[in-house]
Copies of this chain bind each other. A is one copy, B any other.
Amino acid sequence: MSELALPTPPIEKHRPSLSRAPASNIDEDEKEQGLTAPPVLVHPKRELRADVRKLSFWYGDFQALHAVNLPVVNNGVTALIGASGCGKSTLLRCFNRMHDLYPGTRYDGDIMLLPEEKNIVSVKIDPIMVRLRIGMVFQKPNPFPKSIYENVASGLRVRGITQRAALDERVESSLRQAALWDEVKDRLHQSALGLSGGQQQRLCIARTLAPNPEIILFDEPTSALDPIATAKIEDLFHDLRSDYTIVIVTHNMQQAARISDYTAFMHLGRMVEFQATDDFFVNPSHLRTEQYITGRFG
C-alpha cells in the first residue's frame, strides 16, 4: 500500500483573486458565497485513453453535469471526488452509457475514446458496443445469482466465448488478478451469494476484468465494505494500475490520494479542479477544493 502522506494545508487561506473572479454560468447561491471560479485544469503529461469534452448531462429537466472536461490517462488511475450529489456517479456512468437504460436522460458534448477519436456518448454509437469495451464495478457488490464460475464467465459468454478451455483459463486468471482465486478455487461451482461482501466485490472485479476491457470504471467500490476488505481491494489497484485504465469515484479523499495518479474534484455538476494527485492534495488551486479537502463541507 502506498504511503502517500497527506499534509493538509492550513485552513482559511484566502485566495481573493480566485474567489472574487466573476464567472459566467454560476448559481445564485454560489455567487453570494463568492466561492465559484472557472475550473482549473492542469493537463496531464501522460498519454490519454479518453477525454471528456464539455460534457453536459440531463436527467429529464435537471442538468446534472455542466460542460465537464476530464482527461483520462492511459494505464493509470483517475479519481473523481466531490461532495455527495455533485455528479461523480453521473459522470462515471456516462462512460459506459449506463444512463441509456433510463428514459428521459440526455447527453451533450463528447467523451472521446482515444486514439481513435470516437465519441462514445454519440447517439450513433450503440451503447452495447461501448459497454463491451468499458467495464464497470459498482458501489454495492452485485454478483449474479449463479455460481462463482458462471459469474466470472458471464462477460465472456456474452462475447460469444463458449469453449470450456478458454473459459476455464480466463476465469482462473481473472480470479487470480482479483486476488480471489485461493479463497474460491475449491468452490467455483457454488453460489456466489455465499461469499462475504468483500469477496463478492472482488468477484465483481474479476468478472469485469475477465474480458479485458479497455477502461474500467469503479463507483465507490469500497464504500460498502469494512476496512479490511477495503484494504484488500485497494491493494488490487496497485497491481492493476499499470495494465488497465481506471476511473474511480470515491468519497474518501484519503483513498483517492492513496491509489490514484490524477484526481478531479467536482462540485454541483461542474469540474472544479483536475491535477496530478500529488499536487492536488498539497496545492489545490481552487478555494472550493481546499475547503473540501480540509473538511469544511461535504
Total contacting residues, chain A, CB less than 8 A: 23
CA distance A12 to B1 in the complex (A): 14
Give the shortest distance, in Å, between A106 (CB) and chain B (any CB): 23
CA distance A10 to B254 in the complex (A): 14
Give the shortest distance, in Å, between A296 (CB) and chain B (any CB): 7
One of A147-155, A186-194, A208-216, A225-233 at the interface: A225-233
Extra pairs beyond A7-B10, A230-B297 (19, CB < 8 Å): A3-B12, A5-B11, A5-B12, A6-B11, A6-B294, A6-B295, A8-B8, A29-B228, A83-B227, A85-B226, A227-B297, A227-B298, A252-B295, A252-B298, A253-B295, A254-B294, A254-B295, A254-B296, A254-B297
* 14 A-B contact pairs sorted by A residue (CB < 8 Å): A3-B12, A6-B11, A8-B8, A83-B227, A85-B226, A227-B297, A230-B297, A252-B295, A252-B298, A253-B295, A254-B294, A254-B295, A254-B296, A254-B297
Chain B residues, CB < 8 A from A85: 226
Chain B residues, CB < 8 A from A7: 10
Chain B residues, CB < 8 A from A29: 228
CA distance A10 to B8 in the complex (A): 10
Chain B residues, CB < 8 A from A227: 83, 297-298
A-side residues, CB < 8 A to B, are 3, 5-8, 10-12, 29, 83, 85, 226-228, 230, 252-254, 294-298
CA distance A289 to B105 in the complex (A): 43
Give the shortest distance, in Å, between A123 (CB) and chain B (any CB): 32
Chain B residues, CB < 8 A from A6: 11, 294-295
CA distance A8 to B7 in the complex (A): 8
Instruction: Name which residue of chain B comes closest to A254, CB basis.
Output: B295
Chain B residues, CB < 8 A from A252: 295, 298
Chain B residues, CB < 8 A from A253: 295
CA distance A228 to B297 in the complex (A): 9
The list of the 4 closest CB pairs from A to B, nearest first, reads: A254-B295, A227-B297, A5-B11, A8-B8
Chain B residues, CB < 8 A from A8: 8
Instruction: Name which residue of chain B comes closest to A257, CB basis.
Output: B295
CA distance A263 to B254 in the complex (A): 22
Chain B residues, CB < 8 A from A83: 227
CA distance A298 to B225 in the complex (A): 9
Give the shortest distance, in Å, between A148 (CB) and chain B (any CB): 24
Instruction: Name which residue of chain B comes closest to A223, CB basis.
Output: B84
Chain B residues, CB < 8 A from A10: 7
CA distance A10 to B3 in the complex (A): 13
